[in-house]
Amino acid sequence: MPIQKILSDAAISAAQGVSKIVLGKLLQSVKGEKKGTIIPYRSEGNESIVCFVHGFSGDPESTFKPIPEFIIAESELNGWDVISIGYSTDLMPNIGKGIWAATPDITKIASYLQTNLEILFEHYNRVALIGHSMGGLVIQRTILNRDDIHKISHVLFYGTPSGGLKKAWLLRWFKNQISDMDYEGEFIKKLRNEWNNRFSHKYPFKFATVAGELDEFVPTNSSLDPFTKDYHCITAGNHITMVKPESNMDTSFQVIKKMLGIGSGISYLIGNDKDLNNLIARYYEEADILGKKLPDLDAKGFKKYIFALEGIGKIDDAIKMLEESEIIKFNTDFMGILGGRFKRKYLVEETTAFLEKAICWYDKALQLSLRSNNSSQIYYHAINLAFLFLMLDETDLTKTKEMAQLALKHCQIAKGGQYWEDATIAEAYLYLNAFEQSKIFYTSAINKCNQSIRETSSMLINAVYACNSLNRPDWKKELENVFSI
């Protein structure tokens, strides 16, 4: 009798009482049809990557389809490479290992994912890990196995039995992977203890866990309850269909889009989406490298670190770092940087307290700069105060014009020819109703900074808000053309 017939009969015998779907998985295992593979959906040499990890009996191609295609079609997510990573998973008995091909347990699969992180993904600065079902357990184990997780920027689970499954004991004799999901098993208990001890529900990456409203396989007490409510999401569908959205407007995809998107916290950055996402990835790298040697940083390095924190959406951490630093006590440049972070907070949240703090720090820096007669610092703080006074009261331009004139005066004294000097002159002319001159200096500033995203974004955001407060939509439109928006 042919060996394939013997094995097929054995599979049928072992699967008595199991559904046709399960039987099909058994036969696939016999025939060697379930093998791990990696599918690159987009590989453009970007600095960020989305990595999908399928669940038990899933595969890298069909499990998440069509989510990878939706990501590629979404302009805001341009700049993210997309990959789906597979591993061996079959519902085959965990007996007769001389006949059945061995299948790794979750810990071994996690080591496989970790190897890919260290080798295939080595050049990426941001890695988003998205796991379905058991894939989320693989991701958790991978994260816990690593001391350095700075590159892991986003983590998202769909229908993941983080608290284990009561059903798992019924099939414990079938597979290592199923045994690992037993809610009373050693794997789940150890995973939860290590996860809670390491993170205490405060994560260094963006995190969410999603449950399907019709998921009867993984109950919410396992998919959601191991984590605090701040990280809970509910989407339509059962355990399988929850990761198969019918359109890019479905909740299951919108959760991903919101998580990976640039977001309001750094919405001041202006440019095409691919360049922005690659810039943010570089900020992740800078924040990690500089953060590891923070005590040894000079003023230039510390400034770069603060901007990197803000660039990855951690503006509150940047503010705290500045407020607790020694340099803030005497360095007017850093006083202005702190004032600028409060200005950013005000523009996003429109909270008066942030506006007042911004004015306070810029004014303190200005007074110290006037005493030392430091023209480059004087025009820096004066032009920002001109803007903030306009935000405070757009019906009275007295203080705004006073600060604009002071900034212009010290630009003429400094004559450094730097792009910030030209940008300051341009903004001052806005407040003094000299728009044509303003355009000339904005054009010069843009060219001098080589159209750097951060610098041009800072220039434009003040200009746009100023035009809005001055009720000059015509100026705003022309400046958007100057900045090629």
User: Whole-model pTM?
Assistant: 0.80
Using pLDDT thresholds of 50, 70 and 90, give the confidence band for residue 120: confident
Distance CA 468, CA 478 (A): 13
The pLDDT of residue 7 is 35
Using pLDDT thresholds of 50, 70 and 90, give the confidence band for residue 414: very high
Dihedral (C-alpha) 397, 399, 405, 411: value to the nearest 10 degrees? -120
The pLDDT of residue 269 is 78
CB 92 within 8 Å of CB 174? yes
Q: What is the mean pLDDT of residues 130-146?
A: 94
Mean pLDDT of the chain: 86
Distance CA 63, CA 82 (A): 15
Tens digits of residue pLDDT in 445-474? 999 998 889 999 999 999 999 999 999 999
Please give the span between the terminal C-alpha atoms of the chain, in angstroms, as a whole number: 73
Decide which of 367 and 263 is more confident: 367
CB 363 within 8 Å of CB 354? no
Q: Residue 172: which residues within 8 A CB-CB, separation 6 or more?
A: 178, 179, 182
Q: What are the CA-CA distances from residue 68 to residues 63, 130, 452 (Å)?
A: 11, 11, 31
CB 71 within 8 Å of CB 50? yes
Domains and CATH numbers, the chain: 34-260 (3.40.50.1820), 327-482 (1.25.40)
Q: Which amino acid is at 55?
A: G
The pLDDT of residue 35 is 53
Tens digits of residue pLDDT in 4-51? 443 344 333 333 433 444 334 434 443 444 456 889 999 999 999 999
The pLDDT of residue 115 is 86
Q: What is the mean pLDDT of residues 242-247?
A: 95
The pLDDT of residue 444 is 96
Using pLDDT thresholds of 50, 70 and 90, give the confidence band for residue 1: very low
Dihedral (C-alpha) 260, 62, 172, 211: value to the nearest 10 degrees? 40
CB 440 within 8 Å of CB 422? no
